[in-house]
Amino acid sequence: MTNFAHIAFYLAGAVAVLATVLAITRLVAVHALLYLIVSLLAVAVDFYIMGAPLLAALEVIIYAGAIVVLFVFVVMMLNLGTQARETERLWLTGRAWIGPAILSALLLAELIYLILRPPLLGSLSGVTSPKQIAIALYGPYVLGVELASMLLLGALVGACHLGRSSLSETEVQR
């Protein structure tokens, strides 16, 4: 990799780490989801820099798209009523978008530069084919893939259980 590719890789990695820490430490679920999206996009930029554009696209489509939509659905399902609506009105002021917007703009500028620059010989270690990704995921890393799927299944069951408990408490109060 060239010097710029190294700098871009570490910059995207730093954005991913920072956004992940912010996602973990936020008390408001919507703010945490915004930082989670930025973190997943930063990891996708790193995959692209390493020569795996398919894996970068899958990261954006599956994780930043589908999984985050599932999390938003769970947040909506756990609606707390009028207090949640008032809190949401306070969130829509725009202050909550400053951090994710800055980190996303940094990633976007980096990605646009990487796409538009002329290709340099030896800038990437090689492009990874879909077959190589499949062999890696379902070869030596099959246990990790299966554990991740079980973790997501457990999170979905827990979210459904929490949503059902919240719904029954609301019905009892009426």
Q: How many domains does the chain have?
A: 2
Same domain, 75 and 143: no
Residue 39 CB contacts under 8 Å (≥ 6 apart), including other chains: 15, 16, 19, 20, 23
Which residue range(s) make up the domain with 142? 138-174
Same domain, 78 and 31: yes
Same domain, 14 and 78: yes
User: 161 pLDDT exceeds 80?
Assistant: no
Q: Is residue 131 part of a domain?
A: no
pTM of the model: 0.55
Same domain, 148 and 80: no
Same domain, 55 and 29: yes
Mean per-residue pLDDT, 159-167: 68
The tokens of 174 are what? 């009426």
Q: Which CATH number is 110's domain given?
A: 1.20.120.1200
Same domain, 118 and 144: no
Same domain, 34 and 111: yes
Same domain, 120 and 143: no
Q: What is the mean pLDDT of the chain?
A: 78
Return the HEC string of 72-105. HHHHHHCCCCHHHHHHHHHHCCCHHHHHHHHHHH
Same domain, 107 and 87: yes
Q: Is residue 133 part of a domain?
A: no
Same domain, 80 and 113: yes
| Residue-wise pLDDT tens digits, 141-152 | 788 778 888 887
Using alpha carbons, select from 156, 155, 157, 133 the residue that is nearest to residue 145: 133
Same domain, 118 and 143: no
Q: Is residue 120 part of a domain?
A: yes
User: 121 pLDDT exceeds 50?
Assistant: no
CA angle 19, 66, 139 (to 5 degrees): 90
| Residue-wise pLDDT tens digits, 24-47 | 888 777 788 888 888 999 999 888
